[in-house]
Amino acid sequence: MLFRDRAEAGQLLAKELSAYADRKDVVVLALPRGGVPVAAEVARVLNAPLDIFLVRKLGVPGQKELAMGAIATGNIRVLNQDLIRRLRIPQHLIDTTIDEEQRELSRREHAYRDDRPPLEVGGRTVILVDDGLATGSSMHAAITALREQRPARIVAAVPAAAHATCEALGEIADEMICATTPEPFYAVGMWYDDFSQVTDEQVREVLRSHNPEAISPSVYRT
């Protein structure tokens, strides 16, 4: 299946999530930036609040592709203590990495949200959306971090994913929705006619235009 763009992908993904429509306990969280226009359509069709969930992987010093943990929206910090002990990573390097990634996460939070507080997710069903999954490392980190906020249920949802990745993430999410799992997968962009980069300004505009005034203030964290 080839999607015309992320908006169309979101509309099709929303059909897979129809059981969650018009439920007061459901919130939709997008992984920026590519997941935002997808999630916007999902939230619109399901009549659910929309927000972003920012995650920054903590790369092992000298091996940035290897994650020793993650930080996320809501001052969430998750560390892989087994890996840290095995590689004997000193605390000062861990602290330095966290500080660097926290600065970037804070910058993006401010840039995207215009100081609007994050949605409250504790006790709610969270639909976590991205535009696709190849290795799934960012979604894995997001699910792990989101657990720290104690949602009632995490539903990870994407328009397209590698079959093995979809199965693997299904082990850690409460539900994994992959609208299509073409093989061979190669890369997310292969399954979109228009896979142009989503800009910071587009993310801001989507969040502003989702009509937060229509959402009960109780869904925002104070």
pLDDT in tens, 140-160: 989 998 998 999 999 999 999
If pLDDT is split at 50, 70 and 90, which confidence band does 211 have?
low
Domain housing 81: 56-113
Range scoring the smallest mean pLDDT among 35-44, 109-118, 152-161 = 109-118
Mean pLDDT of 185-205: 93
What pLDDT score was predicted for residue 220? 43
Name the β-bridge partners of 177: 157
Q: Which spans in the chain are helix H?
A: 6-16, 35-46, 81-87, 91-113, 137-147, 163-169, 200-209
Q: What is the CATH number of the domain that holds 78?
A: 3.30.1310
Q: What is the CATH number of the domain that holds 48?
A: 3.40.50.2020
Q: What share of the chain in percent tops pLDDT 70?
A: 94
Most confidently modeled range among 38-42, 105-109, 112-116: 38-42
Which residue, 68, 97, 113, sits at the end of a domain? 113
CA distance 33 to 35: 6
Do 88 and 31 belong to one domain? Answer: no
Residue 176, in any domain of the structure: yes
Which residue from 169, 165, 170, 168 is spatially nearest to 186, judged by alpha carbons? 165
Do 140 and 198 belong to one domain? Answer: yes
What pLDDT score was predicted for residue 94? 95
Which residue, 113, 138, 154, sits at the end of a domain? 113
Which residue, 90, 113, 136, sits at the end of a domain? 113
Classify residue 218 by its DSSP letter. Answer: G
pTM of the model: 0.86
Cα dihedral 81, 82, 83, 88 sign: positive
Tell me how many helices (H) and strands (E) the chain has.
Answer: 7, 8
How many domains is the chain partitioned into structurally? Answer: 2
- Identify the residue with better confidence: 172 or 138: 172
pLDDT in tens, 174-193: 999 999 999 999 899 999 99
Do 82 and 18 belong to one domain? Answer: no
What's the chain's average pLDDT? Answer: 90
What pLDDT score was predicted for residue 215? 43
pLDDT at 124 over 80: yes
Residue 183, in any domain of the structure: yes
What pLDDT score was predicted for residue 1? 67
